[in-house]
């Protein structure tokens, strides 16, 4: 299994209504300071309906980018019960999934 596959597989553990950060996802597959690599991997996600890359956000609480636009990412997260205000997750600490 290559690194991208490991990242996608790990991301599948994050349930609806929870999010993870690029950094936490990187650490979960053994990458130290791998946030940018995780971001590039999310951008190349071949199965966005199956692999929920919209659940990966910045450690600051900002939602970060999304291949289909930030407005779509915001809608997907809202539909899963994640509240967002001014592009940031509300109550970030209680929404982060711990691997």
Query: Look-up: residue for tokens 């290559």?
Result: 2
CA–CA distances in Å: residue 44 to residues 25, 41, 71:
16, 5, 19
Rounded to whole angstroms, how far apart are CA atoms 22 and 11?
10
Residue 53 a catalytic site member: yes
32: tokens are 């130290």
- Which residue among the candidates 53, 57, 58, 89 is catalytic per the annotation? 53
**Catalytic (active-site) positions:** 53
């Amino acid at each position: 299994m290559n690194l991208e596959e490991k990242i996608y597989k790990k991301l599948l553990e994050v349930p609806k209504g929870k999010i993870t950060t690029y950094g936490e996802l990187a650490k979960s597959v053994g990458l130290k300071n791998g946030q940018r690599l995780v971001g590039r991997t999310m951008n190349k996600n071949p199965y966005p309906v199956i692999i929920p890359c919209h659940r990966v956000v910045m450690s600051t609480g900002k939602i970060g980018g999304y291949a289909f636009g930030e407005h779509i990412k915001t809608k997907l997260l809202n539909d899963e019960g994640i509240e967002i205000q001014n592009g940031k997750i509300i109550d970030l600490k209680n929404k982060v999934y711990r691997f």
